[in-house]
Amino acid sequence: MTMMFRAAFVLMAACGLLAAQTPAMAGTLQCAPYARQISGIQLFGRAADWWAQAEGRYDRGQEPRVGAVLAFAASGAMPAGHVAMVSQVVSPREVRLTHANWSYRGGIERDVRAIDVSAANDWSDVKVWYGPTGALGTRSNPARGFIYAQAPAAADRPVQIAAAAGTTALN
């Protein structure tokens, strides 16, 4: 009986320790790891740094494409920036985004509306659906543009020439 009591006590204590650690280990889902997971774009760190990190590794541009990541710049309202994957292109100035940690802390939102409100039609100023109001957000957000999931085309990469031992590359 004592051995059974000890086993039950150890089991309850272990479960209690696991339960106590779960919230701390789980943390809050952030936009960058979620965008990396769903887009396949392997960039790391703050969302505001993705645009610069993508240079030379991924094609970038101002045209929305399904699977691309829209990179928002850092601002007073978003000091770490934001990244969101384009799940649908509605028109050249409207897309649907799938992203995390926008309307709700740690929450995932799928296929939410985003529109380009920039004067130059270049996706440098964007309004995004905001869940608590059930409408586009009241403020616009500065953006850099789109990072495309495919690596740059082979013609854009440096060419490396291999030569067999004892020969030169010009032989």
For the stretch 18-31, pLDDT in tens is 433 333 335 789 99
Question: Which of 159, 166, 37 lies closest to 108, judged by CA?
Answer: 37
One-character DSSP codes across the chain: -HHHHHHHHHHHHHHHHHHHHHHHHH----HHHHHHHHH-----S-GGGHHHHHTTTS-EESS--TT-EEEEPP-SS-TT-EEEEEEEEEETTEEEEEEESSSSTT-EEEEEEEEE--TTSSSSEEEEEETTTTEE-SS-EEEEEEE-SSPPPGGGSPP-----TT--TT-
The pair of structure tokens assigned to 122 is 């270049």
With a cut of 90, say whether residue 132 has pLDDT above it.
yes
pLDDT-based confidence at residue 47 (cuts at 50, 70, 90): very high
Structure tokens at 143: 């953006």
* Mean pLDDT on 110-122: 97
Q: What does the pLDDT average to over 76-87?
A: 97
Write down the residue that tokens 């000890």 correspond to.
Answer: 6
pLDDT at 45 over 80: yes
Residue scoring higher pLDDT (58 or 15): 58
pLDDT at 169 over 50: no
Q: Are 121 and 150 in contact (CB under 8 A)?
A: no
Please give the model's pTM, rounded to 2 decimal places: 0.74
pLDDT score, position 27: 74
* Triad 94, 80, 88: Cα angle to 5°: 20
| pLDDT greater at residue 165 or residue 55 | 55
